[in-house]
Amino acid sequence: MRVLIAASEAIPYCKTGGLADVSGSLFKELATMNIDVRLIIPLYKGIMNNFPVSDTGVRLVIPMQHRNYQAHLYSDNGVFFVRCDEFFDRDWLYGETEGDFPDNALRFAFFCRTVLEACRLTDYCPDIIHFNDWQTSLIPLYIKTHYQNDKFFRNVVTVLTIHNIGYQGLFKPEIMPLIDIERGLFSPESIEFYGKVNFLKAGILYADIITTVSRRYAEEIITSEYGFGLDGVLKTRKKDIYGIRNGVDYTKWSPSVDTFIAKSYSSNDMRDKAYCKKKLLKDCGFVIKKNIPLISFIGRFASQKGIKLIISTLSRMIEYGCRVVMLGKGDRNLENILIKKASGLTGKLYLKKGFDEKFAHSVYAGSDMVIIPSQYEPCGLVQMIAMKYGTVPVVRRTGGLSDTIEDYNALSDTGTGFLFDSYNASAFFEAIKRAVTVYTHKNRWNKLMQRGMNKDFSWKKSAAEYIELYKKTLSS
């Protein structure tokens, strides 16, 4: 079986969030399971300097917007890169702090076209094109329009994975001719969406199969509360929607092999987690004292992640004796509020603004708890990674958080984290208080950490589920 994964980001080459972890890890896992798999992403700035990518010699010419755009196809061990400096040689993937790049529609429509042209020119006819999120969602539409009479793509099955339905790729209708899609498709039955062009809607309507990244999120996105306006369209495809949980790459995310952390440790011997905590307390400028609950947040500063709940709970957490580390970047308003908070809480709240992979490892290892009070969370990797490091998640019961964490039960002394339901600061703080109470009972807390560490969220099972789904779709 030949599988082509198309994505706008993938580890280890480029990453803004979980999508990169998923596309890079799934590619790696499918390859170990003897699938003839390829991955294709844009060649962003910096990739060439840091990885041994080489020019395949294949030239891609894409006529769009009354112009021939050109790209060069590069590769590195089964991973292919579309090089078009005009679109991708930029410091950021999708936009700067001021907002998204104004030519994103053209950039990613172009990328979708190059994915298909690259298949033809390298004579690689995939059985499955597995594409991800809005950036690659025009692929099945181009197959059904530009390539409808092309035998090469006749038997290709397309699979869309929705990683986050909150990001849909919405653009003004004027872009229709620029992206080379006939005007007639700007209709409610096709890619029109409340007066705009919606890339993700194209993926939802024209893919053969749709997956999303946890079972619960697969149910949530067909409701008006979580569907971001696409729930109606998704309902029409309900029988083709599957939930497959993301996995974690434990060759990278495991305290026993992690070279970024102060000292490695495992669930059999966790003494050195205390050392990692001490180091983190020191690095954050906190007074080093025993038994201070150290709470962390790692992620995008976006309203989705419940940053407002965190902001309105920070002082209470600190009054309750906790210290807080926050690592992230994102929405400028939220960043500014956090910067102001942090300046008033020096020595108690440490804010690290930016994307810092190495520091993220130290935070996972050194914290006692990680907080994820998300409004919605398609799957979430942070809680699964944290559990591997014996860092206990305190999360809202939604999406993948609900699928991967079992609420702590004091009577039976079972569970792997602390869940709360209502999206409000008091429900969130109650969950933190529950966690801190258990934290003071060392015996219970150690067992809780160990249960999390012994959970297996590796890619093996999820990749096997994707293979089953590919096979089922190919045979139907």
The residues of the shown chain that bind ligand ADP, judged by CB under 6 A, are: 17-18, 21, 298-300, 327-329, 355-357, 360, 379-382, 385
Phi-psi region of 57 (alpha: psi -120 to 50; beta: other; left: phi over 0): left
Q: Is 42 in contact with 111 (CB distance < 8 Å)?
A: yes
Give the residue with the Cβ less far from ligand ADP, 26 or 175: 26
Extract the tokens encoding 223.
Answer: 């409701």
CB of 426 to ligand ADP, least distance (A): 25
d(CA 145, CA 374): 39
Kindly report each contact of residues 183-191 with a partner whose C-beta sits within 8 Å and lies 24 or more positions away, as own/partner. 185/141, 185/145, 191/141
Give the residue with the Cβ less far from ligand ADP, 222 or 363: 363
Give the residue with the Cβ less far from ligand ADP, 47 or 327: 327
* Peptide bond between residue 42 and the one before it cis (omega within 30 degrees of 0): no
CB of 65 to ligand ADP, least distance (A): 31
d(CA 215, CA 180): 35
391: Cα within 13 Å, side-chain hemisphere: 33
CB of 255 to ligand ADP, least distance (A): 14
CB-based closest residue to ligand ADP: 18
CB of 204 to ligand ADP, least distance (A): 19
DSSP 302: S
Contacts of 122 by beta carbon, 8 Å cutoff, 6+ apart: 56, 58, 73
CB of 458 to ligand ADP, least distance (A): 15
Give the residue with the Cβ less far from ligand ADP, 60 or 351: 351
CB of 361 to ligand ADP, least distance (A): 9
3-state secondary structure 164-196: CCCCCCEECCCHHHHCCCCHHHCCCCCCEECCE
Give the residue with the Cβ less far from ligand ADP, 120 or 300: 300
Give the residue with the Cβ less far from ligand ADP, 360 or 448: 360
Give Cα 144 to chain centroid, integer Å: 28
CB of 358 to ligand ADP, least distance (A): 8
The count of other CB atoms within 10 Å of the CB of residue 267 is: 17
The count of other CB atoms within 10 Å of the CB of residue 307 is: 26
The residue type at 127: D
Give the residue with the Cβ less far from ligand ADP, 356 or 413: 356
Q: Is 97 in contact with 353 (CB distance < 8 Å)?
A: no
d(CA 222, CA 218): 7
CB of 253 to ligand ADP, least distance (A): 8
Give the residue with the Cβ less far from ligand ADP, 138 or 379: 379
d(CA 187, CA 23): 31
CB of 25 to ligand ADP, least distance (A): 10
